[in-house]
């Protein structure tokens, strides 16, 4: 006996006993499935409580197993069971607890009394699985806000990529997913950006310090080193600061032997004396301009594309220096003309970085200590004996010889009594100075700002000598399409004092057998032996003053227009104004007027003011 089943116009003939068996098997499978579903719902509906503090995932699963009596199945190679977690859960469903414990990187499945944990499968777009496309675009710039053409942009781990155009713009279509873009360019640090849900990614790339030597900054333009034919050396600011915190030029002379500082022994360690620097030897013999009146061999100094004085460079805050480039040969004359005949020192300061406001403070304490170890002068006994052997205490006349012998005897008693004055250290001190620098920067892709405030207090080793400089600087940079505007305003206020004790060489001429103080404890003003000697230390006790002040205002404006890919127009305008005041005062008691007599006696003392 057979029954015919009609289904959608298709006839099927099934034996009756087989049909009954198939129906029984179907009912059995449906019952098993229903039982498994009910078991799974019951399992995941259990409530658990966990209070964990930095324990491993394996320990957390062990506690869940004890509370639920369920088995957990997973592979240690696929699940990071050593990851530390912290949870505080009270009477929460098991499935919710697993979500909090495992995160989005893993999934779980309930099979009867077993919980299977496995990583979330990420579909590979190269396996032919259709995915939605996402278009990412943006602009790549340098730290100054200039667009960077030719930047390579690749999908990390893949061959898919593109490059920026002449305006630094790019567009890249990616499969939907959480990918990473890699931005790379010669001379720049590699930058990685996670795409996520973003469709616009703007990137600012930083210069790579290890490749800084590949670029030459001439103050007029920036060019790759392999395309520049002149003799050049570029030094990063970090390298300068490793050699000290004095000033830029002192560190520079210790790095490059072609940049020489001519020692001025007469000036010694006077903080207000301008040193002499040479890059191409002594090539000048006459006065060229008033600016180079004292040193016609001085190189040309360029600060951020504008000519600067030696004083400005010496007072420059080293923490602001980004790089220094030395243009050493005649090729620099093609850029700056005859002024570059002695070489060019091009200094670039740091430019503001994009981002939220960033505050940087730098401070230091500087100690200026005198070194007298190279001096080997006679002590009192040696000096008196040397004068006697030289015939200083003898005379051709009997009366003169007797007077000289009396002076010698008196001086000998002083020396034997312990008089031995070391005059070299009397006008000296250990100078303790300090520096402070505060820098604020920030901005976005279009507007950058930087504000610097610095104070430098230099204490010289000669008593009363010093130099104090207060500087402020505001830098603004704005980009509009193909135009870049940059403005830099700098103000320097300086006050310098020379020592009222005079030249240090004067104290090397004083005799060690002269007493500094008399029997009453008063400082001696002079000593009379065969001749009269004067105590120059008194000049520092009578309100002698050598003071100079100056205030310099510098306004530099820079505009750049990118007309074409290989055509750029640049214009610069700089204005500098300096106000100088000086005051020199020597009282009538100064040793310069000690020999004034007669009609000159009323002319003692000088006072000069310049403003």
How many percent of the chain have pLDDT more than 70? 81
Please return the burial class of 290, using the count of CB atoms within 10 Å of its CB with bins 0-12, 13-18 and 19+.
Answer: exposed
- The more confident residue out of 137 and 330 is 137
Per-residue pLDDT band for 327 (boundaries 50, 70, 90) equals confident
Looking at every residue in the chain, the average pLDDT score rounds to 80
* CB contact at 8 A, 240 and 255: yes
The predicted-structure confidence for 528-540, as pLDDT tens digits, reads as follows 888 889 999 999 9
Q: What is the mean pLDDT of residues 136-150?
A: 87
The predicted-structure confidence for 247-292, as pLDDT tens digits, reads as follows 888 888 888 877 887 777 667 778 888 888 877 666 555 444 444 4
Least confident of 256-260, 332-336, 439-443: 332-336
Task: Write down the pLDDT at residue 566.
Answer: 74
| DSSP conformational letter for 593 | G
Per-residue pLDDT band for 594 (boundaries 50, 70, 90) equals confident
* Cα–Cα distance, 465 to 269 (Å, whole number): 10
Coil, helix or strand at residue 352? coil
Least confident of 92-96, 179-183, 348-352: 92-96
- The more confident residue out of 264 and 147 is 147
| DSSP conformational letter for 316 | S
Task: Write down the pLDDT at residue 216.
Answer: 59
Task: Write down the pLDDT at residue 115.
Answer: 79
The token pair at 194 is 């996670």
Task: Write down the pLDDT at residue 588.
Answer: 92
Task: Write down the pLDDT at residue 488.
Answer: 93
Per-residue pLDDT band for 356 (boundaries 50, 70, 90) equals confident
CB atoms within 10 A of CB 216: 20
Task: Write down the pLDDT at residue 282.
Answer: 62
Q: What is the mean pLDDT of residues 363-371?
A: 90
pTM of the model: 0.61
Task: Write down the pLDDT at residue 31.
Answer: 44
* CB contact at 8 A, 315 and 470: no
């Amino acid at each position: 006996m057979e029954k015919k089943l009609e289904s959608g116009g298709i006839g099927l003939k099934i034996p009756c006993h087989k049909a009954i068996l198939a129906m029984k098997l179907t009912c059995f499978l449906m019952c098993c499935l229903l039982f498994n579903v009910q078991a799974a719902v019951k399992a995941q509906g259990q409530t658990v409580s966990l209070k964990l503090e930095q324990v491993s995932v394996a320990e957390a699963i062990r506690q869940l197993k004890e509370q639920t009596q369920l088995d957990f199945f997973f592979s240690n190679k696929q699940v990071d069971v050593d990851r530390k977690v912290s949870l505080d859960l009270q009477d929460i469903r098991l499935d919710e607890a697993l979500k909090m414990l495992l995160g989005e990187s893993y999934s779980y499945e309930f099979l009867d009394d077993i919980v299977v944990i496995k990583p979330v499968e990420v579909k590979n777009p190269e396996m032919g699985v259709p995915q939605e496309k996402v278009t990412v675009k943006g602009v790549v710039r340098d730290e100054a806000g200039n667009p960077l053409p030719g930047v390579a942009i690749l999908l990390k781990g893949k061959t898919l990529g593109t490059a920026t155009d002449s305006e630094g713009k790019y567009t890249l279509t990616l499969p939907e997913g959480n990918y990473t873009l890699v931005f790379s360019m010669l001379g720049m640090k590699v930058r990685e950006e996670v795409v996520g849900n973003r469709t616009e990614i703007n990137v600012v790339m930083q210069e790579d310090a290890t490749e800084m030597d590949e670029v030459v900054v001439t103050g007029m333009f920036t060019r790759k080193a392999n395309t520049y034919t002149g003799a050049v050396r570029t030094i990063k600011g970090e390298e300068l600061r490793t050699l000290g915190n004095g000033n830029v030029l002192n560190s520079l002379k210790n790095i490059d032997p072609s940049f020489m500082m001519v020692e001025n022994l007469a000036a010694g360690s006077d903080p207000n004396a301008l040193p002499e620097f040479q890059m191409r030897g002594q090539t000048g013999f006459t006065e060229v301009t008033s600016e180079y009146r004292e040193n016609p061999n001085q190189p040309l100094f360029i600060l951020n594309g504008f000519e600067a004085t030696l004083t400005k460079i010496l007072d420059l805050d080293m923490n602001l220096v980004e790089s220094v480039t030395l243009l050493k040969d005649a090729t620099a004359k093609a850029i700056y003309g005859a002024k570059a005949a002695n070489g060019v020192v091009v200094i670039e300061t740091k430019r503001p970085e994009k981002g939220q406001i960033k505050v940087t403070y730098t401070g230091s304490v500087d100690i200026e200590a005198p070194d007298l170890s190279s001096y080997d002068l006679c002590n009192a006994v040696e000096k008196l004996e040397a004068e006697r052997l030289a015939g200083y205490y003898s005379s051709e006349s009997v009366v003169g010889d007797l007077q000289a012998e009396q002076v010698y005897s008196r001086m000998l008693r002083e020396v034997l009594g312990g008089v031995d004055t070391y005059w070299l250290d009397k006008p000296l001190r250990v100078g303790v100075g300090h520096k402070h620098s505060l820098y604020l920067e920030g901005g976005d892709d279009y507007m950058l700002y930087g504000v610097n405030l610095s104070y430098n207090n230099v204490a010289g080793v000669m008593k009363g000598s010093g130099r104090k400089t207060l500087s402020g600087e505001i830098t603004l940079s704005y980009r509009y399409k193909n135009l870049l505007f940059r403005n830099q305003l700098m103000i320097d206020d300086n006050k310098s004092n020379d020592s009222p004790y005079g030249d240090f060489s004067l104290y090397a001429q004083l005799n060690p057998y002269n007493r500094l103080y008399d029997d009453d404890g008063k400082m001696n003003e002079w000593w009379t032996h065969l001749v009269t000697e004067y105590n120059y230390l008194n000049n520092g006790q009578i309100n002698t003053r050598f003071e100079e002040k100056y205030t310099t205002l510098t306004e530099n404006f820079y505009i750049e227009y990118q007309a074409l890919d290989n055509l750029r127009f640049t214009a610069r305008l700089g204005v500098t104004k300096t106000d100088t005041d000086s005051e020199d005062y020597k009282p009538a008691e100064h040793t310069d007027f000690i020999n004034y007599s007669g009609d000159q006696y009323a002319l003692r003392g000088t006072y000069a003011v310049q403003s």
